[in-house]
């Protein structure tokens, strides 16, 4: 009995650190609607700065003072980031801020290694909380008890702050309806900055408080960020109490789960999230999101098919691309094939995001399923390449059909997180089911047959499929189905009123996108000759998002350019420098500032401005807003 009680307390202590970080993320999202990918980076910075301060200043005051000062220092960094970077892009399309914070995260990963060195650092134990308390023969670390006590205190303090101060009232109001708060004359700039500062402070505090029990190293951010997102979503976005309950739920399930299934930790949070979101689409304590006032499709000039000249131009570009084997060597052609594959992958996600209005955080699942499909067919069944290439993506289709059915019941960030959960579940199956998938060691020897083996032939094959995929998606966009999908995106109510079955349309779009991603994955398996679980992983899903956002989410085919720029830059940087993350992150941040609508989106906006300035009065071209 004593054991179970102590295990419960241990779970609570784990929950405390999760809660601190999650509450900060939840507050930031609630008010600013920023999906702050850099939250983990601030957590990590908190730990590093606290390590330096507590090593320099000894004694109880040095330690506890160091923790608090570290959190304050990082909060100041957060304020700078908000003022210099994020303020410029609040009006960018939804999720674009994700790109900026992703770039920052990449940079911070390299910067901490440059400053603090590559080794794992061991911080001091907390003065006064070094030992353990004996409880019927079971030992409870006293620092755990401190953390257990701290989290309700933080929860209470936040509650007071939000319920009893004018600032708190504004924050709550903005969480519910930030446009109305702005209309009432509240200075949003400073509200956002202060909220961001508080959120970052909590993240850094969470990181700093880990140094007596954890190691400080440069992968801390990735370890926490996904888990924290999950906790926030399970609890309900913007709900502090929800974050608290979810943190406790997840930690306790883990603490007791490992007693029965020792391998469960790897997937537990995602299972919990999937179940919670299917049963309660807005998390445990969340409320349905208010309908967005600005919908993505309406803030830009309406889409239209390419003009004759543009068609000619695209065909010309394609011919140039097809001539690459005449001039380029084998390596360039293989890189070209990889870029073509990622064009398919990014275009499929782009279709879902910009046409369907459904941002998936787990699109790699269908890419990876396509890759595994090919690997099974080619290796286990011994089918010829052309058959595997055609049938392999069906596994992606199947996955998309099953998961898409549940996912399209949700919208916004909840949709994104459910797709992430499904992707992680698929990933962990590939990772754990060693007998079938080879686990972490993957499936080797998936090489193309002779006719496709030469780099030039494989390049033409990839380019051909990529062209067909992009063309197909454009046809769909301007087909009646495409209009129905856009109608559902722009106004679910009105489209339903005219008889469009929104969920079915979105589900179909999800399956189309998943199948095309499967084709990309199938080609990828043959390009690399092997398939590993990381072709289903989070980082690949994030890469796809980045490509789409980089190209411009409000465009018809921006992802094509986004994929080419991102993939070419990342392959080249990884080859040229060990600091590829720092340079890539900086590059992304620069692009975010220079092209606030993505590369293609911004170029189109400039062209439209020129054209309309010449043709008609500017006032007619102003923003159209709907009233839901």
Partner 1 sequence: MRRRHLLGAGLAIAVTGMAGGAMAQGEIKIGEINSYSLLPAFTEPYRKGWQLALEEVNAAGGINGKKLVVISKDDGGKPADATTAANELVSSENVVMLTGTFLSNIGLAVSDFANQKKVFFLAAEPLTDAITWSKGNRYTFRLRPSNYMQAAMLVEEAAKLPAKRWATIAPNYEYGQSAVAVFKKLMSEKRPDIQWVDEQWPPQGKIDAGPVVQAVAAANPEAILNVTFGADLIKLVREGNTRGLFKNRAVVSFLTGEPEYLDPLKEETPEGWIVTGYPWYDIKTPDHDKFLKAYQAKFNDYPRLGSIVGYQTIKAAAAILAKANSTDPEKLIAAAQGLTMPSPFGEITFRKIDHQSTLGAYVGRTALKDGKGVMVNSVYRKGADYLPSDAEVEKMRPKQ
> Per-residue DSSP letters for 46-86?
HHHHHHHHHHHS-HHHHHHHHHHHHHHHHHHHHHHHHHHTG
Minimum gap (Å) between residue 6 Cβ and partner 1? 6
The dihedral built from the CA positions of residue 104, 107, 108 and 109, taken in this order, carries a sign that is: positive
Between 236 and 552, whose beta carbon lies closer to partner 1?
Answer: 552
Minimum gap (Å) between residue 80 Cβ and partner 1? 17
Token representation of residue 203: 């993240």
Minimum gap (Å) between residue 136 Cβ and partner 1? 13
Between 59 and 316, whose beta carbon lies closer to partner 1?
Answer: 59
- C-alpha atoms less than 13 angstroms from C-alpha of 340 in its C-beta half-sphere: 28
User: How far is it, in rounded angstroms, from Cα 72 to Cα 498?
Assistant: 54
Minimum gap (Å) between residue 398 Cβ and partner 1? 23
Between 163 and 330, whose beta carbon lies closer to partner 1?
Answer: 330
Of residues 7 through 46, those in contact with partner 1 by CB under 8 A are 7, 10-11, 13-14
Q: Does 219 bind partner 1 (CB under 8 A)?
A: yes
Between 254 and 557, whose beta carbon lies closer to partner 1?
Answer: 254
Q: HEC string of 82-101?
A: HHHCHHHHCCCCCCHHHHHH
Pair 13, 148: CB distance under 8 Å: yes
Pair 193, 31: CB distance under 8 Å: no
User: How far is it, in rounded angstroms, from Cα 351 to Cα 548?
Assistant: 9
Of residues 599 through 618, those in contact with partner 1 by CB under 8 A are none
Would you give the binding string for partner 1 spanning residues 151-190, x where CB under 8 A is met? ----------------------------------------
Q: Does 94 bind partner 1 (CB under 8 A)?
A: no
Contact pick of 532, 552, 554, 585 for partner 1 (by CB under 8 A)? 532
Part in contact with partner 1 (CB under 8 A); list of ranges 44-52, 64-72, 179-187, 261-269: 261-269
Would you give the binding string for partner 1 spanning residues 436-455, x where CB under 8 A is met? ---xxxx-xx-x-------x
Residue with tokens 């392959």: 571
Between 387 and 434, whose beta carbon lies closer to partner 1?
Answer: 434
Residue with tokens 């306790």: 252
Pair 22, 232: CB distance under 8 Å: yes
Minimum gap (Å) between residue 53 Cβ and partner 1? 18
Between 257 and 393, whose beta carbon lies closer to partner 1?
Answer: 257
> Per-residue DSSP letters for 111-166?
HHHHHH-SS-EEPPPPTT-SSEEEETTEEEEHHHHHHHHHHHHHHHHHHHHHHHSH
Of residues 404 through 433, those in contact with partner 1 by CB under 8 A are 431-432
The dihedral built from the CA positions of residue 378, 382, 387 and 392, taken in this order, carries a sign that is: negative
Contact pick of 530, 603, 612, 621 for partner 1 (by CB under 8 A)? 530
Between the CA of residue 519 and those of 109, 287, 369, what are the distances in Å? 33, 38, 10
Q: How far is CA 376 from the centre of its chain?
A: 29
Contact pick of 535, 541, 555, 557 for partner 1 (by CB under 8 A)? 535
Minimum gap (Å) between residue 332 Cβ and partner 1? 8
Minimum gap (Å) between residue 133 Cβ and partner 1? 10
Of residues 226 through 245, those in contact with partner 1 by CB under 8 A are none
Q: Does 138 bind partner 1 (CB under 8 A)?
A: yes
Burial class (CB in 10 A: 0-12, 13-18, 19+), 218: buried
Minimum gap (Å) between residue 432 Cβ and partner 1? 8
**Residue 33's closest CA among 154, 162, 177?**
177
Of residues 487 through 526, those in contact with partner 1 by CB under 8 A are 524
Of residues 95 through 134, those in contact with partner 1 by CB under 8 A are 110, 113, 118-122, 131-132
Of residues 194 through 213, those in contact with partner 1 by CB under 8 A are 213
The dihedral built from the CA positions of residue 593, 559, 517 and 279, taken in this order, carries a sign that is: positive
Between 265 and 608, whose beta carbon lies closer to partner 1?
Answer: 265
Between 222 and 390, whose beta carbon lies closer to partner 1?
Answer: 222
Between 327 and 497, whose beta carbon lies closer to partner 1?
Answer: 327
Identify each DSSP E strand in 279-363 by its residue range: none
Token representation of residue 375: 């690997």
Part in contact with partner 1 (CB under 8 A); list of ranges 177-185, 240-248, 260-268, 482-490: 260-268
Minimum gap (Å) between residue 93 Cβ and partner 1? 18
**Residue 40's closest CA among 182, 231, 173?**
231
Minimum gap (Å) between residue 453 Cβ and partner 1? 9
**Residue 510's closest CA among 427, 422, 599, 628?**
422
Would you give the binding string for partner 1 spanning residues 450-479, x where CB under 8 A is met? -----x------------------------
Part in contact with partner 1 (CB under 8 A); list of ranges 35-43, 139-147, 301-309, 410-418: 139-147
Pair 216, 55: CB distance under 8 Å: no
Pair 21, 198: CB distance under 8 Å: no
Would you give the binding string for partner 1 spanning residues 266-305, x where CB under 8 A is met? x---------------------------------------
Token representation of residue 43: 């957590």
Would you give the binding string for partner 1 spanning residues 322-361, x where CB under 8 A is met? -------xxxx-xx--x-----------------------
**Residue 396's closest CA among 430, 425, 363, 429?**
363
Task: Please name every residue paired with 216 in a beta bridge, in sequence order, or none if there are none.
Answer: 121
Residue with tokens 């084997």: 325
User: How far is it, in rounded angstroms, from Cα 389 to Cα 200?
Assistant: 47
Q: Tell me the number of residues near partner 1 by CB under 8 A.
A: 81
Of residues 542 through 581, those in contact with partner 1 by CB under 8 A are 569, 571, 574-581
**Residue 268's closest CA among 253, 246, 249?**
253
Coil/strand/helix, residue 444: strand
Minimum gap (Å) between residue 7 Cβ and partner 1? 5
Between 274 and 410, whose beta carbon lies closer to partner 1?
Answer: 274
Minimum gap (Å) between residue 298 Cβ and partner 1? 25
**Residue 21's closest CA among 1, 59, 47, 54?**
47
**Residue 74's closest CA among 191, 207, 171?**
207
Contact pick of 1, 56, 183, 262 for partner 1 (by CB under 8 A)? 262
Contact pick of 144, 221, 554, 604 for partner 1 (by CB under 8 A)? 144
Minimum gap (Å) between residue 123 Cβ and partner 1? 10
Minimum gap (Å) between residue 472 Cβ and partner 1? 26
User: How far is it, in rounded angstroms, from Cα 401 to Cα 403?
Assistant: 6
Minimum gap (Å) between residue 190 Cβ and partner 1? 23
């Amino acid at each position: 009995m004593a054991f179970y009680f102590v295990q419960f307390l241990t779970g609570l202590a784990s929950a405390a650190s999760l809660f601190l970080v999650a509450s900060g993320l939840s507050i930031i999202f609630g008010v600013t609607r920023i999906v702050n990918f850099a939250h983990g980076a601030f957590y990590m910075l908190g730990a590093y700065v606290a390590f330096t301060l507590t090593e320099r200043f000894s004694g109880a005051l040095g330690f506890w003072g160091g923790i608090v000062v570290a959190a304050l220092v990082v909060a100041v960094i957060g304020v700078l980031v908000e003022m210099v970077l994020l303020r410029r892009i609040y009006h960018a399309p939804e999720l674009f801020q994700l790109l900026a914070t992703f770039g920052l995260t990449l940079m911070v990963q390299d910067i901490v290694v440059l400053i603090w060195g590559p080794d794992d650092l061991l911080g001091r134990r907390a003065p006064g909380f070094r030992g353990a308390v004996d409880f019927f023969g079971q030992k409870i670390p006293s620092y755990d008890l401190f953390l257990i006590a701290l989290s309700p205190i933080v929860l209470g303090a936040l509650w007071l702050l939000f319920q009893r101060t004018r600032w708190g009232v504004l924050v709550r109001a903005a969480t519910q309806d930030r446009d109305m708060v702005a209309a009432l004359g509240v200075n949003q700039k400073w509200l956002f900055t202060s909220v961001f500062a508080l959120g970052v402070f909590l993240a850094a505090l969470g990181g700093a408080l880990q140094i007596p029990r954890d190691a400080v190293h440069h992968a801390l951010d990735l370890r926490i960020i996904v888990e924290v997102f999950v906790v926030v979503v399970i609890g309900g976005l913007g709900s502090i109490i929800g974050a608290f309950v979810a943190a406790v739920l997840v930690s306790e399930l883990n603490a007791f789960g490992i007693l029965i299934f020792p391998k469960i930790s790897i997937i537990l949070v995602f299972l919990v999230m999937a179940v919670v979101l299917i049963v309660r689409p807005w998390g445990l304590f969340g409320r349905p999101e208010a309908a967005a006032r600005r919908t993505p499709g309406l803030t830009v000039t309406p889409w239209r098919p390419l003009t004759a000249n543009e068609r000619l131009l695209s065909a010309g570009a394609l011919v140039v691309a097809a001539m690459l084997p005449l001039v380029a060597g084998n390596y360039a052609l293989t890189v070209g094939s990889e870029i073509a594959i990622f064009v398919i992958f990014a275009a499929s996600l782009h279709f879902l995001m910009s046409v369907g209005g459904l941002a998936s955080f787990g699109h790699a699942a269908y890419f990876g399923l396509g890759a595994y499909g090919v690997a099974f067919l080619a290796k286990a069944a011994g089918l010829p390449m052309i058959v595997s290439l055609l049938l392999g993506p069906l596994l992606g289709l199947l996955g998309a059909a099953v998961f898409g059915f549940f996912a399209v019941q949700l919208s916004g960030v909840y949709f994104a997180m459910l797709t992430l959960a499904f992707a992680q579940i698929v990933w962990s199956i590939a990772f754990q089911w060693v007998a079938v998938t080879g686990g972490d060691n993957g499936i080797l020897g998936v090489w193309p047959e002779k006719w496709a083996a030469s780099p030039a032939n494989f390049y033409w094959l990839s380019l051909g499929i990529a062209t067909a995929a992009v063309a197909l998606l454009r046809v769909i966009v301007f087909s009646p189905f495409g209009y129905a999908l856009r109608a559902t995106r722009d106004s679910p109510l009105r489209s339903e009123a005219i008889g469009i079955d929104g969920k079915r349309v979105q589900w179909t779009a999800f399956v189309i996108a998943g199948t095309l991603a499967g084709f990309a994955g199938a080609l990828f398996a043959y390009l690399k000759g092997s398939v590993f679980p990381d072709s289903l992983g989070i980082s690949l899903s994030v890469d796809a998002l980045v490509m789409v956002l980089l190209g411009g989410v409000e465009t018809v085919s921006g992802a094509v350019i986004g994929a080419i720029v991102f993939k070419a830059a990342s392959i080249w940087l990884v080859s040229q420098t060990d600091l590829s993350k720092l340079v890539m992150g900086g590059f992304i941040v620069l692009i975010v500032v220079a092209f606030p609508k993505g590369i293609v989106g911004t170029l189109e906006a400039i062209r439209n401005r020129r054209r309309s300035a010449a043709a008609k009065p500017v006032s007619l071209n102003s923003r159209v807003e709907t009233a839901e």
